[in-house]
Amino acid sequence: MPAAHVDDVVHDVFLVVHRRLPDFDPTSGATLRSWLYGITRRVVMHHQRSARRMHARHARFSAARELSGVSAPSPAAALERDEAARAVQRFLDSLDDDKRQVFALIEIEGFSAPEAARALGVKLNTVYSRLRAARQRFELAVAAHSDAPTRRDASPRPPPSPTTNQPRTRGTGATHAAARG
């Protein structure tokens, strides 16, 4: 495990221990040491799987970019990508923890539904239910984001110049213009 990830793993272990401490039963024959080791092992394995998936995605993306001859994205494309990433993050922040975990594991991390159920310790149908609800909310968020004006659309347009001959529409003061003329 890279040294840069050790702090993240330790932090995650403490979070799991804090959340699962009421479940620890010393009368079951397990020692605190073995219980902590099991949690640590699972967290490390999870981080390693995530790192492998991330590395594989980067490798596929890099290979595809080289094969297609695509250069670095334009500033406008980079801005759109950043805005989309912020929109996705806002969506994830709006979900409750249960739905966010399922959505992230399946849609972002690439877990299958049975893998997510095992990782979260819930029934498979619970995973499907949470995923369906999260996907519905995601569709609504995407629709709302695509309907919202972009920065280019939201920038104020200068008023038309009075010297240009633009057609008048009803209710724009035609009677006032006739009174001046």
Q: Is residue 115 part of a domain?
A: yes
Q: Is residue 133 part of a domain?
A: yes
Residue 143, pLDDT > 90, answer: no
Higher-pLDDT residue of 145 and 110 is 110
Cα separation, 20 vs 22, in Å, equals: 6
Q: What pLDDT was estimated at residue 70?
A: 60
Band (pLDDT 50/70/90 cuts) for residue 90 is confident
Band (pLDDT 50/70/90 cuts) for residue 55 is confident
Band (pLDDT 50/70/90 cuts) for residue 175 is very low
Same domain, 65 and 87: no
Supply the mean pLDDT for the chain. Answer: 79
Nearest to 83 by CA among 134, 138, 145: 145
| CA distances from residue 127 to 4, 23, 42 in whole angstroms, order as listed | 32, 22, 20
Nearest to 130 by CA among 120, 141, 144: 120
Sign of CA dihedral 156, 161, 166, 170: positive
Tell me the mean pLDDT in the region 59-88: 77
Residue 159, pLDDT > 60, answer: no
Rg (CA), the chain: 27
- Establish how many alpha carbons lie within 13 A of residue 79's alpha carbon, considering only the half-sphere containing its beta carbon: 6
Q: What pLDDT was estimated at residue 120?
A: 87
Same domain, 2 and 66: yes
Q: Is residue 37 part of a domain?
A: yes
Same domain, 143 and 82: yes
CATH number at residue 130: 1.10.10.10
Q: How many domains does the chain have?
A: 2
Q: What pLDDT was estimated at residue 152?
A: 47
Residue 88's domain comprises: 72-147
Q: What pLDDT was estimated at residue 155?
A: 47
pTM of the model: 0.44
Q: Is residue 173 part of a domain?
A: no
The token duo for 23 is 């479940």
Same domain, 29 and 40: yes
